[in-house]
Every structure is written in structure tokens, then in C-alpha cells.
Amino acid sequence: MKVRDLMTEKQKLARVTTVTMLPEVAKKMKESDTGIIPVVDEQNQEKLIGLITDRDIAVRAVAEGIDLANAKVGDFMSKDLNCISPDTDTAEASRLMSERQLHRLCVVDNDRLVGILSLGDLVEADRREGGKALEGISHGVKSEKKSGM
């Protein structure tokens, strides 16, 4: 099975740009029932340039006492993206999630956002592959706790 068969397609994803204000992002997260929103280029709405998560907002902005009304996505988004092709095999996607301790992978085609693949997508479609990814992610968390991180 290929990633394209399981991913949430971009048409169903909320998207923002670097100049979107954080309160608007939080509102989009609530409306979309998600904790992550792709950040696209202002001129080229197809080009993925980052991600903004509920954790980015909570840890990088709220916890630092930032005035959210004047805070833009570009100052708090994650730029280190983990991306795969829509033609990637789901077993490979599962391996990457496990290896890198990820719950989601951006799906891109020539730097163009085409969707997001979540751990939930894998689990829903294939309990075996999703279970492998979850086991790897869980194992990494257990290892960090044992080492005092």
C-alpha cells in the first residue's frame, strides 16, 4: 500500500502562512480538530515551508509570555520537516515514524504539499504497520525516560 492511499489530502487540511497570527491558528486547530497545521509560502500556497503545532504555540509562545495577539506563525513554526513522497510504501513510512519518533509525516511532491500521513492513518488502515510505528515511538519514549531525559 502507498502513502497516497492513506494520507489526509491537502484539500482537507487547514493551511496558514508565516504572517498568520497565532490566535487565528488556534481557531483553525479547534475548527479542524487538529494539533498541527502546515505552513505554506505566501506567494505559492502549494509550497510547504513549515508546520505549526499546538505545542509550538504552548511552549514557544504562551509559556514565554508572548503577546499572542501580535504573534505571527513565522516566529514560532517548526522548519525542520520530515517529508515523504505520496508513492512511498506505507511500511517505509511506518519505519520512518518509528525511527524518528514521529506521529506525522508531511507528504510532498516536488516541494508541493499534497497531504499529511498520521500514525492514526497507518493504524486505521493496517494494524500491523501502525503497531510497528507505535511500538518504535513508544520504545524511544521509554528509552528517554530511563536515561533521565
Domain boundaries, the chain: 3-144
Assign 63 to helix, strand or coil: coil
Say what the pTM is: 0.81
CA angle 65, 51, 95 (to 5 degrees): 125
User: What are the C-alpha distances in Å from 142 to residues 49, 57, 74, 131, 135?
Assistant: 31, 26, 33, 16, 10
What is the model's pLDDT at position 120?
86
Which helix (H) or strand (E) segment is 114 a member of? strand 112-118
d(CA 73, CA 53): 10
Q: Give residue 142's pLDDT.
A: 47
Other beta carbons within 10 Å of 88: 18
pLDDT in the model for residue 49: 96
Question: Distance between CA atoms of 19 and 27, rounded to whole angstroms?
Answer: 15
pLDDT number for residue 146: 47
Contact 7, 116 (CB under 8 A): yes
Rounded Cα–Cα distance for residues 36 and 52 (Å)? 6
* pLDDT the model gives residue 106: 96
Annotation: CATH topology of 3-144: CBS-domain (3.10.580)
pLDDT in tens, the chain (149 residues): 999 999 999 999 999 999 999 999 999 999 999 999 999 999 998 999 999 999 999 999 999 999 999 999 999 999 999 999 999 999 999 999 999 999 999 999 988 999 999 988 888 876 555 455 556 555 554 444 444 54
